[in-house]
Amino acid sequence: MRLDQLPLKCPAKVAAVAWDDLAETAARRLRELGLDEGVTVEALHVAPFGKDPIACRVGRMTVALRRAQAHCITVEMAA
Amino acid sequence: MNPAPMVALVGNPNAGKSALFNALTGARQKVGNYPGVTVERKAGRMSLPDGRPIELIDLPGTYSLEPASPDEQVTRDVLFGKQDGERLPQAILCVVDATNLDNHLRFTLQLIALGLPVVVALNMVDMAERDGLKIDAAKLSKELGVPVIPTVAVRKRGVDDLKAAMDVLVGDGSARKIAAGPGFHHEDLVVLQRRARAIALAATTEEHGARKVSHRIDSIALHPIAGPILLFGLMFVVFQAVFAWAQPPMDAITAGFDWLGHWVETNFPNGFVRNLLAEGVIKGTGAVVTFLPQILILFFFILLLEATGYMVRAAFIMDRLMARVGLSGRAFIPLLSSFACAVPGIMATRTIDDPKDRLTTILIAPLTTCSARLPVYSMIITACIPDRQLAPYVGLRGVVFFGLFVFGIVSALLAALILRRTVTKGPSQGFMMEMPKYQMPSVRDVGLGLWTRALIFLKRAGTIILASNVILWVLASYPVAPAGRLQTEYSIAGRIASAIEVVVKPIGFNHHIALALPPAMAAREVAVSALATTYAIDAGDDTDAASSAVEPKIAKDWSLPTALAFLMWFVFAPQCLSTIAVTRRETNGWKWPAFMVSYLFVLAYVAAGATFWIATWAGL
């Protein structure tokens, strides 16, 4: 499942990140914000207009990102 | 004498760096600029427990030493001793957010690797406790190999311990060379991150069910329906406050300057000095200083929204709408700041990573209705728009005012849409931002921010605006017109204005406007003082006419189409040298400011002309 498809309030773990599909600056920013395989993520909020961007918990941080960017992140829901 | 040892304050964005800087230095701060870039250089003095002074410099917040923006570049260059006009710091004070250790420690590890002495301020320990986190500072210190001091910057907790630790660190004050040198080895971010996470885990002694206050606020602030209502409600309150609350202090300032002008006129002998003081200095400067309350109220709200963490939420909500015109939510904050002044707005674009996004935002920032336009709009609306009620609580003047604001916003968005498809074409980089925790802003931090703004504004009023008023007054007063000729036509300024009048006559502008436009290039609000000065000169020694307000004279002298055309001109015209200068610095050259000035002047001319002719045709 991709992060943009993850239902709200369902903690999951990052399984893989398609770094190459992200713009270079976006990829680096995501790394700086602590995104990495194995990190816990959870979709928290969806922006009111057009349901884009989304706000996700990444580790201890809350990070806002667009759906297209979240689509590059594969997640696994906790069983 | 040796200069005081310098310590660099470094940290991730949202670590509470500015609050710690304020707590350590108090009001002893100096805000300047680094040469060549417009990154603000904030430095302050603090004393160690034994009284020795330290120069503390507040470097822009950054996530790592690989710069993604001009701000981050400065932080890196200062720490490597490569920034022009800056010494190499003797030590680093690194601020980390205790509630977000895994992430912030990665940057700390990078800083420690530089080889300079480091002390870590483990900030916001109160918030960590609120979230159910207990961190062992001693253990963390052992893992990192540098002193770690728990602090709560906004409450000034831990400040003395921090000073004591810095005392040891600075030692005899001799600068050390960075061990690794400029050939600093970049460890892979991911490797560092994993090490940081392991250290954070080891130092965290307790973690239980967190009370997520921020999360609960967000469930309202980011709610699909309540969120936008809250955002627009807040914006409405801000603009309401700017116009309603500011009125009493503005009236008081006007009364003060009137009294001063009157005092000069009665107590000085008639002559050059008296006229220069009364007509040029007091009337001109007073017309501008009057707007200080409005500017402060606007900045108060912007500082408050920033300090609480709400600004990022506003960007989040607005991102989708901004994306429609090719921008990102990040552009929302600079554009909102531009309502106060385009200069800080353009400077705030430094937080936009994508260069094309950033350039577009810079180019449209002058279209938002900045506070310098308020005096101009205010004066013309008071003079020429009748005070009629359209409906209960809805006055015609208010509607015109609001209309000008909306017109500015719509033009800015349309301009972005067109620019993004032409001159700044390129793929969008998306939107990615950390959402900080909500925080109670401290009175001191907001107060210091306001104080700095007030000083900058008053300094401008006392220098550039005062100078242009005096020059205009001299040019408009000499040579003295013979009897039967109008002073504002016979004088040097009058003759320059007559040349300009040829160009602006087709769009309905009169001689007085032509006279006010060149000095208003210094700043838009100078148009107000310029008109006040020129009408005062024309009134001459007729004290009654000279001391009364300029609005009735404009009401008598201008037709409604002229007034509307003048308002429309000020929606677009780039009448602000500071904006042009800051654009040059931010874009590193004359190409983009030249482009900006031309497209805005063309728009201004066309819009003012169209307004004049449509209004004339409609028989207004």
Task: Return the higher-pLDDT residue of A8 and B278.
Answer: A8
Nearest CB to A26 within list B66, B106, B430: B430
Q: Domains for chain A: give ranges and CATH numbers.
A: 3-77 (2.30.30.90)
Per-residue confidence band for A14, with pLDDT thresholds at 50, 70 and 90: very high
- Residue B2 pLDDT greater than 70, yes or no: no
Per-residue confidence band for A42, with pLDDT thresholds at 50, 70 and 90: very high
Full strand arrangement of the beta sheet holding B432-435: A73-77, A12-17, A40-46, A54-58, A61-65, B432-435
Are B435 and A66 within 8 A, CB to CB? no
How much is the average pLDDT of B353-369?
Answer: 90
Residue type, B459: K
Per-residue confidence band for B183, with pLDDT thresholds at 50, 70 and 90: very low
Residues 39-78 of A with CB under 8 A from B: 44-50, 52-53, 55, 59-66, 68-69
- Residue B222 pLDDT greater than 70, yes or no: yes
- What is residue B180's predicted lDDT score, i.e. its pLDDT? 45
Mutation target for B interface from A9, A17, A28, A31: give the one with most B CBs within 10 A. Answer: A31
- What is residue B182's predicted lDDT score, i.e. its pLDDT? 41
- Residue B38 pLDDT greater than 70, yes or no: no
Fold annotation for B6-207:
Rossmann fold (3.40.50)
- What is residue A41's predicted lDDT score, i.e. its pLDDT? 92
* ipTM here: 0.94
Per-residue confidence band for B176, with pLDDT thresholds at 50, 70 and 90: low
- What is residue B36's predicted lDDT score, i.e. its pLDDT? 52
- What is residue B31's predicted lDDT score, i.e. its pLDDT? 65
- Residue B184 pLDDT greater than 70, yes or no: no
How much is the average pLDDT of B344-370?
Answer: 86
Residue A17 C-alpha, separation from nearest chain B C-alpha, in angstroms: 13
Residue B94 C-alpha, separation from nearest chain A C-alpha, in angstroms: 17
pLDDT tens-digit series, residues B291-328: 788 778 878 888 888 888 898 899 999 999 889 898 88
- What is residue B365's predicted lDDT score, i.e. its pLDDT? 94
Per-residue confidence band for B388, with pLDDT thresholds at 50, 70 and 90: confident
- What is residue B229's predicted lDDT score, i.e. its pLDDT? 94
Are A33 and B430 within 8 A, CB to CB? no
pLDDT tens-digit series, residues B67-81: 777 778 888 888 888
- Residue A73 pLDDT greater than 50, yes or no: yes
3-state DSSP of B110-152? HHHHCCCCEEEEEECHHHHHHCCEEECHHHHHHHHCCCEEECE
DSSP 8-state secondary structure symbol assigned to residue B90: S
Are A53 and B316 within 8 A, CB to CB? yes
Per-residue confidence band for B559, with pLDDT thresholds at 50, 70 and 90: very high
C-alpha distances (whole Å) from B153 to each of B19, B75, B127, B136, B446 are: 6, 21, 11, 18, 14
Task: Return the higher-pLDDT residue of B35 and A4.
Answer: A4
Are B222 and A68 within 8 A, CB to CB? no
Are B193 and A61 within 8 A, CB to CB? no
Task: Return the higher-pLDDT residue of B246 and B165.
Answer: B165
Average pLDDT, rounded, for chain B = 83
Are B102 and A45 within 8 A, CB to CB? no
Instruction: Please provide the DSSP assignment of B353-368 as one string.
Output: -SHHHHHHHHHHGGGS
Nearest to B6, CA basis, from B40, B39, B41, B33:
B41
Residue A4 C-alpha, separation from nearest chain B C-alpha, in angstroms: 14
Within 10 angstroms of residue B229's Cβ, the number of other Cβ atoms is 11
Task: Return the higher-pLDDT residue of B439 and A16.
Answer: A16
Domain chopping of chain B, boundaries:
6-207
- Residue B568 pLDDT greater than 90, yes or no: yes
Do the beta carbons of residue B97 and residue B12 sit within 8 Å?
Answer: yes
Percent of chain B surpassing pLDDT 90: 22
Nearest to B602, CA basis, from B561, B574, B578, B580:
B574
Percent of chain A surpassing pLDDT 90: 49
Residue type, B162: L
- Residue B604 pLDDT greater than 80, yes or no: yes
